[in-house]
Amino acid sequence: MPWNDEFWDREEVMDRKDLEEIQFKRLKQTIKKAYENVGFFRKRLKSVNLTPDDIRSFDDFAKVPFTTKEHFAENYPFGLIAVPLSEIVRIHTSSGTSGKPKVVAYTAKDIENWTNLVARCFYMVGIRRGDVFQNMANYAFFTGGLGIHLGAERVGAVTIPAGVGNTERQVQYMVDFGTTAIHSTPSYALHVKEVAEEMGLIDKLKLRIGCFGAEPWSENTRKRLEDAFGINAYDSYGLSEMNGPGVAFECKEKQGLHIWVDNYFVEIVDPKTGERVGEGEKGELVLTPLTKEAMPLLRYKTGDITILENEKCGCGRTHPRLMRIFGRSDDMLIVRGVNVFPSQVEHVLMQIPEVGDNFQILLTRKGALDEMTVKVEVKDEFFTGEIEDLKRLQQKIQRALQLELMLRTNVELVEKGRIERSMGKAKRVIDLRSI
Ligand code: ADP
Ligand code: ZN
């Protein structure tokens, strides 16, 4: 078993068989803890005539009913906590992108374990002692603030709790402190890039690594960020219900995100039927945390759509990989009967050189028909007074979108700066159809 500077934990390269053994042992403990200490889970298992002893295999586990976001709302605020409040040392709430905020709790051991998982991710992409790590994520309630922060400190990086906003100051600090690594949402990173360009400082940055997550982003956005900042950009996936960031993260191969299955049991299911899908098939990610003390959730339906890749990775890690998250099942738009993920629109737009870094999708209804308008910022050098040029560009974008989405859209070109910038998760879609 390799055990050298490339690996933070031996668990990262553990034999698949040994990993499964650990998973099963931890799964059993989690089920038992949930059953014994959380009334909600006891009721859920009883409703299908199960006791923890009936679960003797991973297949048996599929009989356990799912936990959903709605259950967080029903049990708000502390109904899902499995330990006395005296053992809780921290509470976060989700940013509530969809629906009511979720409350998540941690024991001291949960925080310790979470910190190690985030550190494992950072170590994997080469962040080390001596790096200057600027965390440009919200620290209020959101797990991407403190969660990322402690992980970066754990690998020994000089860690700056920068938060979001004050973008000019952020850029100035990046220059002054010689920041080498950053973390933010991809949409905020695009904004930082724009401000750094405007300040004439983009070439003065010493960045090597960017970690971006908390919302979907595309390969083409990766390329833009890598080229502009001169970095390697890595995808970071997590959710508050599973501690926060540090659930899955790209390695240097950039071929999917290693999901830490020694800490999270993974299933991919058909979002409608709830049945597990076949190997390599797209579906909804269902996660069960295997090491959480404060909140042992069983079969949590994340809403996130992805594919699980079991093939061994070039980096040597044995943990399987998630392919980029396409989006949440509830992000999916249905426009004139066609399914559209905002991430598909991003993918198309970010490969067109004239297109700036910001866009917005507007949905309206004209009579009985849905209308989709994509508002696109054009880079300054292409936003000339030449109507003919703009018309050509508009048609080019329209054709590219139609090819990808199989849907005719309206394209509206606007000047840089006309679409509101986001500090955290971008709000890409304005749906006026139900109003
Ligand atoms: P909220 O549900 O309020 O947004 P969180 O801040 O916990 O709460 O966000 C977790 C969600 O963010 C995930 O379920 C997923 O939808 C999205 N997300 C996180 N990381 C990524 C990523 N790398 N790619 C795509 N989506 C992501
Ligand atoms: Zn790898």
* Ligand 1 site, residue 328, Cβ cutoff 6 A: yes
Q: Percentage of residues in the chain with pLDDT exceeding 70? A: 97
- What pLDDT is stored for residue 332 in this prediction? 87
Q: How far is the centre of ligand 2, averaged over its atoms, from the C-alpha of 150 (Å)? A: 23
Contact (CB, 8 A) for 138 and 424: yes
* 196-210: pLDDT as tens digits: 999 999 999 999 999
Atom of ligand 1 nearest to the CA of 248: 23
Q: Indicate if ligand 1 lies below 6 Å from the C-beta of 331.
A: no
Average pLDDT over residues 307-320: 96
Looking at the CA of 258, name the nearest ligand: 2
Residue 203 parent element (H or E): none
Q: What is the dihedral of CA 119, 125, 131, 135, to 10 degrees?
A: -60
Question: Closest ligand 1 atom, CA of 304?
Answer: 16
pLDDT band at 127 (very low <50, low <70, confident <90, very high): very high
Q: What is the mean pLDDT of residues 397-407?
A: 95
What is the mean predicted confidence (pLDDT) over 37-54? 98
Binned at pLDDT 50, 70 and 90, residue 4 comes out as: low
Query: Is the pLDDT reported for residue 272 higher than 50?
Result: yes
371 has pLDDT over 50: yes
Mutate to test the pocket of ligand 1, among 76, 237, 428 (most ligand atoms within 8 A of CB): 237
Please, is 148 exposed, middle or buried when counting C-beta atoms within 10 Å of its C-beta (0-12, 13-18, 19+)?
buried
> Averaged over 329-339, what is the pLDDT?
88
- Is the pLDDT score of 95 beyond 70? no
Lowest average pLDDT, out of 13-17, 135-139, 328-332, goes to 328-332
Nearest to 75 by CA among 110, 41, 36, 33: 41
410-415 and 369-378: which strand pairing? parallel
CATH number of this structure's domain 1-328, picked from the four choices 3.40.50.12780, 3.40.50.2300, 1.10.275.30, 3.30.2320.20: 3.40.50.12780
* Section 305-310 average pLDDT: 96
* 237 Cβ below 6 A of ligand 1: yes
Closest CA to 133 of 162, 110, 114, 157: 157
Q: State the CATH architecture for 333-431.
A: 2-Layer Sandwich (3.30)
Domain boundaries, the chain: 1-328, 333-431
Q: Which ligand is nearest to the CA of 424?
A: 1
Query: What does the pLDDT read at residue 327?
Result: 86
pLDDT score for 375: 97
CA of 311 to the centre of ligand 2 (A): 10
The residue whose C-alpha atom lies closest to atom 14 belonging to ligand 1 is 239
What's the pLDDT at 46?
98
For the chain, give the percent of residues with pLDDT over 90: 88
Place 130 in a pLDDT band, splitting at 50, 70 and 90.
very high
Token readout for 20 is 């499964």
Lowest mean per-residue pLDDT among 288-292, 337-341, 398-402? 337-341
Confidence of residue 68 (pLDDT cuts 50, 70, 90): very high
CB atoms within 10 A of CB 121: 30
427: left (phi over 0), alpha (psi -120 to 50) or beta: beta
- Burial class of 285 by CB neighbour count within 10 A (0 to 12, 13 to 18, 19+): buried
- Ligand 1 pocket residue status of 302, Cβ below 6 Å: yes
Tell me if 235 CB under 6 Å of ligand 1: yes
Please tell me the least confidently modeled range out of 78-92, 209-223, 326-340. 326-340
Mean pLDDT of 309-315: 95
Q: Average the pLDDT over 318-341 and give the result.
A: 91
Q: Is the pLDDT of residue 3 over 70?
A: no
Tens of pLDDT along 243-252? 999 999 999 9
Q: What is the band of 1 on the pLDDT scale with cuts at 50, 70, 90?
A: very low
How far is ligand 2, taken at its centre, from the CA of residue 252, in Å? 7
**Closest residue to atom 10 of ligand 1, CA basis:** 239
Burial class (CB in 10 A: 0-12, 13-18, 19+), 172: middle
**Rounded distance between C-alpha atoms, residue 388 and residue 392, angstroms:** 6
| Nearest ligand to residue 93 Cα | 1
Q: Give the per-residue pLDDT at 2.
A: 46
User: What is the per-residue pLDDT for 96?
Assistant: 61
Ligand 1, atom 13, lies closest to the CA of 239
- CA–CA distance, 374 with 359 (Å, rounded to integer): 7
Residue 158 Cα, ligand 2 centroid: separation in angstroms?
25
Q: Is the CB of 95 under 6 A from ligand 1?
A: yes
Give the SS3 label for residue 403: helix
